[in-house]
Amino acid sequence: MALNADVLRAYVGYLRDLGVHDLYRRGDPQAGPVEFAEESVAPQTSLPQTSQPQAVAAAQPVAVVERVVEQVSAMSMPIQPLPTPGFLEAPVGRLVSFNDLAPLPAAPVPVEQRAAALRAIQEEIGDCTRCPLAYLGRRSIVFADGDPGARLMFVGEGPGADEDASGIPFVGKAGQLLNNMIQAMGLQREAVYIANIVKCRPPQNRVPEPLEANTCDPFLLRQIDIVQPQVIVALGATAATYLLGVKQSLTSLRGRWHSCRGAKLAVTYHPAFLLRDPRQKGEAWKDLQMVMAELGLQAPARKPAQ
């Protein structure tokens, strides 16, 4: 992880919200807190000659930041109340598939109750500060978009700038491409359900940290359990990694079915990647055709050339 002053502030703010104020006094209870000047976060090239832990910490701010992150990672996540009975606390430092994160629901939520059930999760999320992304410049918590009774669900990585501004997932250029992909499958965007692994925008659109994804995942899991789609499409490696609990190349995960919360799950390229490398659109179309066959969808007839 790139450690800089903004990330450090986010983690420290996050810890303060948890009531942790003594991170810098470990090993020397008498010492005062270390002051972090922004410019002091640059890596040190030589070690100071001192045996005082606090002095070492002050002279090696990057090491201290790493210790802060380690201590954050070692803590259980403050998701209260636990999302469902029997739900595991968000795992830290290990990948757990959505299938293993919580028992499957005993019974499906009736279609007419799904919108209200999803609204209840959104209310529970509230002005969420459960992970450091709350402190890294997010403007909106991007919950989801689409039909609570959808048979098809798309899961991406996290909101970008356009999504952060609008509060709706996949509305920028990548969102336009996703809309085109959905239409090519013979559907309208309103007929599917769209969400992300994290609901707050990571700065500079970086990949969410495991701590962030693991903290936010229980909400997505509950959304999946309420919508109960027949098919989930994981858009890109980050979505596939957290939904399936495996870290493998996208190539090795594509072209076959996986399982997630009772749904069949297919993996394909993220639309943002397809914008960068349009040559892979044909491969993505193969993945979507596999999904279409499963759902009995047919591509709309092409308009005859004029």
187's tokens: 């559907």
Our finding on whether 217 is near ligand SF4 (CB under 6 A) is no
Nearer to ligand SF4 among residue 59 and residue 216 (C-beta): 216
Q: Least distance in Å: CB of 96 to ligand SF4?
A: 16
Interface with ligand SF4 (CB under 6 A), residue from 199, 254, 261, 270: 199
Interface with ligand SF4 (CB under 6 A), residue from 41, 198, 235, 266: 198
Our finding on whether 144 is near ligand SF4 (CB under 6 A) is no
Binding mask 124-143 for ligand SF4 (x = CB under 6 A): -x--xxxx-xx------x--
Q: Tell me if the bond preceding 108 is cis, omega within 30° of 0.
A: no
Our finding on whether 216 is near ligand SF4 (CB under 6 A) is yes
Nearer to ligand SF4 among residue 14 and residue 269 (C-beta): 14
Binding mask 82-121 for ligand SF4 (x = CB under 6 A): ----------------------------------------
> Quick one: which of 97, 131, 143 has its CA closest to 209?
131
Amino acid at 240: A
Interface with ligand SF4 (CB under 6 A), residue from 214, 215, 238, 268: 215
- Confirm if 152 and 230 have CB atoms less than 8 A apart: yes
Q: Least distance in Å: CB of 31 to ligand SF4?
A: 32
Report the 10 Å Cβ neighbour count for 82: 13
User: In this structure, what are the phi and psi dihedrals at residue 260, rounded to the nearest 5 degrees?
Assistant: -155, 115
| CA–CA separation, 271 and 80 (whole Å) | 34
Nearer to ligand SF4 among residue 132 and residue 146 (C-beta): 132
| CA–CA separation, 20 and 15 (whole Å) | 5
| CA–CA separation, 172 and 168 (whole Å) | 10
| CA–CA separation, 16 and 11 (whole Å) | 9
Binding mask 149-188 for ligand SF4 (x = CB under 6 A): ----------------------------------------
What is the β-pairing status of strands 231-235 and 263-268? parallel
Our finding on whether 10 is near ligand SF4 (CB under 6 A) is no
Q: Least distance in Å: CB of 153 to ligand SF4?
A: 18
247's tokens: 């870290």
- Confirm if 98 and 111 have CB atoms less than 8 A apart: no
Q: Least distance in Å: CB of 194 to ligand SF4?
A: 16
Q: Least distance in Å: CB of 180 to ligand SF4?
A: 27
Q: Least distance in Å: CB of 13 to ligand SF4?
A: 11
Our finding on whether 201 is near ligand SF4 (CB under 6 A) is no
Number of residues interacting with ligand SF4: please give it, by CB under 6 A: 14
Our finding on whether 270 is near ligand SF4 (CB under 6 A) is no
**Contact positions toward ligand SF4, by CB under 6 A?**
125, 128-131, 133-134, 141, 198-200, 212, 215-216
